[in-house]
């Protein structure tokens, strides 16, 4: 825009005066970022029509926009902006990305307000610069570099900012200052670990080491708020640092051995340890309990979950305990004492060649029975609407049930199908889907499904719905299953990578979205399983029912009103269509012409007289 155009605009709209500098920046050749249209370049300004002409990389070319309407949605970027440089100096930026990742973040911070940015802001910019997938791996590696870069202050919490220091400072010195300042024992342990990771050249903090070790030891000994896992973690952090001063760190008290000997629940301790210490924990158990570590490893495996399960299996394999693993897993399956997390791990690890010799012999009806038992048990103990991972994977992996039934006879398969029908961990629609996999191999199980359906109809009210509304509900359900829920899972995974879940707003929002999506999924599963489709041809002219069109006289006003009473999901008040579930419809059903009914809706009493009765199908054929 030129000066005259800006003066004219501000004369018409004086409230826009604070944005004058922004309008002045809207000149041909400038790059910009629009909240909806993305990255673009201003190529012209049509003064006669007062329109900016912008080429958007992700949208229209030559797109005309009124400056006044995009003033708060479009940011004109400076020549030094990283996105601009990626277009004007692509080779230089690509070189920095590949060889000097910290320099790229410095460039971003130099052009940011107050020379600071939150991690989420950096990630959005990187996503535009490199692409939404490619940047993630790069950013994960670069964060480790930034922690050691003296020019940049990296945040301790995910909600804090990255910012440029006024003067470069050794990150060890900054962390050391935080270490001495905090009174929180757990935070002190975490900062001690950060010091260890930073101090490739330990000489920077060597003079401070005695005091650091003393502070850590006091925290481990005296802090009542620390769990056994926290104390063990603290000992390992202290020992990592202490090796620079002591030849034998195990002589320091408390020692990892003394903490382990004072532990009652070794599985609980493992659950609370940082993942990177799982292997070290198992090695410690072997060293402290040489006569019984193999039995302890079995117990830890039985009660393990997630990555710790993998560590237990790997540890036992390294200790030549493959036969023992095989024996334990088969025995736990037969006894049905195997727990859901271990079953989940077996299913997930089935594709690994490393674990194939252990897992292949387990693929049987015993395994499926154990899965059903574990799912049902978790559902009965789970008072919330939290999902059951084992149930989800059984539903999602369409080959799992056929594989587990490969050697089954019809009697065993029928027993398992009946167990499924009684299981509390699946919604009715999911049960039908899973039973279809049984029926594909054993057609006689169809009778079981038919019997179950009859029983459900006998004991549960159905929902009468039109074909149109049923189809719409199915479309919504399929979109939830195939699009929205998978997208939400990916969003949760991405947000989880941002770190500390307690202070991760993106993670919390994604989990809130998950609760809404899963709640809607459950609601649809129940409703679709109850739905009975009708074409409304059963409606008669003798009395009011589903599919009737009634003309009523309203007692209070004397006015005539005409309503169509249709299916449970067909309500459309604007077009005088009522669901048969509405209070007025429920009052009318079964009544005849000239009958009167009274309603009390929202505190208002009303008398209705039925003047005329018609069939919806006759009027809409």
Report domain extents, the chain. 3-76, 82-169, 461-534, 548-619
What whole-number distance in Å separates Cα of residue 368 and Cα of residue 435? 13
CATH topology of domain 82-169: Arc Repressor Mutant, subunit A (1.10.10)
- Check residue 43 and give its pLDDT: 92
CA R_g for the chain: 34
Distance of CA 366 to the CA centre of its chain: 32
Q: How many residues does the chain have?
A: 621
The reported pTM is: 0.55
What whole-number distance in Å separates Cα of residue 125 and Cα of residue 83? 8
3-state secondary structure of 52: strand
What whole-number distance in Å separates Cα of residue 539 and Cα of residue 535? 9
CATH of 548-619, one of 3.90.1150.10, 3.10.50.30, 3.30.2350.10, 3.40.50.720: 3.10.50.30
What whole-number distance in Å separates Cα of residue 125 and Cα of residue 130? 9
What whole-number distance in Å separates Cα of residue 82 and Cα of residue 129? 8
CATH of domain 3-76: 2.30.30
- Check residue 232 and give its pLDDT: 94
Of residues 369, 373, 347, the one with CA closest to residue 358? 347
Of the given ranges (420-434, 475-489, 494-508), which has the lowest mean pLDDT? 494-508
Confidence of residue 57 (pLDDT cuts 50, 70, 90): confident
For β-strands 63-65 and 74-76, DSSP reports them as unpaired
The stretches of 460-499 forming alpha helices (DSSP H) are: 467-479, 485-496
- Check residue 523 and give its pLDDT: 77
Sheet with strand 596-601: strands edge to edge: 577-579, 560-566, 548-554, 604-615, 596-601
CATH of 461-534, one of 2.70.98.10, 1.10.287.180, 3.40.50.2300, 3.40.50.1010: 1.10.287.180
Does the pLDDT of residue 454 top 50, yes or no?
no
Confidence of residue 336 (pLDDT cuts 50, 70, 90): confident
Q: Count the Cβ atoms, other than its own, within 10 Å of residue 596.
A: 12
For β-strands 38-46 and 31-34, DSSP reports them as antiparallel
Does the pLDDT of residue 484 top 60, yes or no?
yes
What whole-number distance in Å separates Cα of residue 497 and Cα of residue 52? 40
């Amino acid at each position: 825009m030129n000066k005259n155009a800006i003066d004219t605009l501000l004369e018409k709209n004086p409230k826009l005066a604070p944005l004058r500098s922004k309008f002045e920046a809207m000149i041909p050749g400038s790059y910009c970022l629009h909240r909806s249209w993305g990255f673009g370049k201003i190529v012209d300004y049509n003064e006669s029509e007062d329109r900016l002409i912008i080429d958007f990389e992700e949208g229209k070319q030559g797109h005309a926009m009124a400056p006044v309407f995009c003033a708060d949605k479009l940011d004109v970027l400076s020549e030094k902006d990283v996105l601009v440089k990626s277009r004007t100096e692509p080779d230089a930026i690509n070189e920095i990305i590949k060889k000097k990742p910290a320099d790229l973040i410095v460039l971003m911070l130099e052009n940011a307000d107050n020379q600071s940015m939150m991690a989420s802001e950096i990630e959005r910019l990187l996503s535009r610069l490199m692409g939404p997938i490619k940047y993630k791996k790069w950013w994960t590696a670069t964060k480790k570099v930034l922690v050691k870069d003296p020019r940049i202050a990296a945040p301790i919490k995910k909600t804090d900012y990255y910012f440029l220091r006024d003067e470069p400072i050794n990150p060890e010195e900054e962390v050391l200052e935080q270490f001495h300042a905090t009174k929180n024992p757990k935070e002190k342990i975490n900062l001690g670990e950060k010091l260890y990771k930073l101090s490739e050249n330990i000489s920077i903090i060597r003079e401070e080491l005695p005091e650091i070790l003393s502070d850590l030891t006091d925290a481990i000994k005296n802090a009542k708020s620390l769990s056994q896992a926290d104390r063990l973690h603290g000992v390992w952090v202290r020992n990592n640092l202490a090796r620079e001063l002591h030849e034998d760190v195990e002589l320091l008290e408390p020692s990892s051995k003394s903490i382990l000997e004072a532990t009652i629940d070794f599985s609980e301790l493992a659950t609370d340890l940082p993942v990177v210490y799982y292997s070290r924990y198992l090695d410690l158990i072997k060293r402290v309990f040489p006569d019984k570590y193999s039995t302890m490893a079995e117990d830890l495996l039985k009660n393990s979950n997630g990555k710790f399960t993998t560590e237990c299996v790997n540890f036992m394999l390294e200790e030549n305990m493959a036969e023992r693993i095989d024996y334990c897993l088969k025995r736990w399956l037969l006894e049905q004492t195997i727990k859901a997390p271990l079953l989940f791990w077996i299913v997930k690890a089935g594709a690994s060649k490393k674990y194939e010799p252990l897992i292949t012999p387990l693929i049987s009806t015993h395994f499926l029975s154990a899965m059903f038992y574990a799912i049902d048990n978790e559902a009965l103990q789970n008072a919330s609407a939290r999902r059951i991972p084992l149930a989800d994977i059984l539903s999602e992996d369409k080959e799992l049930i056929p594989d587990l039934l490969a050697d089954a006879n019809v009697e065993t398969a029928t027993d398992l199908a009946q167990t499924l029908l009684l299981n509390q961990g699946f919604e009715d629609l999911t049960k039908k889907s899973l039973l279809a996999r049984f029926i594909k191999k054993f057609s006689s199980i169809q009778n079981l499904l038919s019997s179950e359906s009859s029983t459900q109809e006998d004991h549960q009210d159905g929902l009468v719905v039109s074909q149109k509304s049923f189809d719409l509900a199915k479309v919504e359900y399929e979109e939830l299953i195939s699009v929205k829920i998978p997208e939400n899972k990916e969003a949760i995974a991405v947000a989880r990578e941002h770190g500390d879940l307690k202070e991760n707003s993106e993670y919390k929002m994604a989990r809130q979205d998950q609760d809404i999506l899963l709640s809607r999924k459950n609601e649809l599963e129940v409703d679709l399983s109850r739905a009975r489709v009708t074409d409304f041809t059963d409606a008669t002219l003798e009395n009011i029912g589903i599919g009737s069109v009634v003309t009523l006289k309203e007692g209070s006003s004397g006015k005539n009103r005409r309503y169509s009473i249709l299916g449970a999901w067909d309500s459309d008040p604007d077009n005088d269509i009522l669901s048969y579930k509405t209070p007025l419809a429920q009052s009318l059903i079964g009544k005849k012409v000239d009958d009167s009914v009274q309603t009390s809706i929202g505190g208002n009493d009303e008398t209705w007289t039925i003047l005329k009765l018609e069939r919806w199908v006759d009027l809409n054929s």
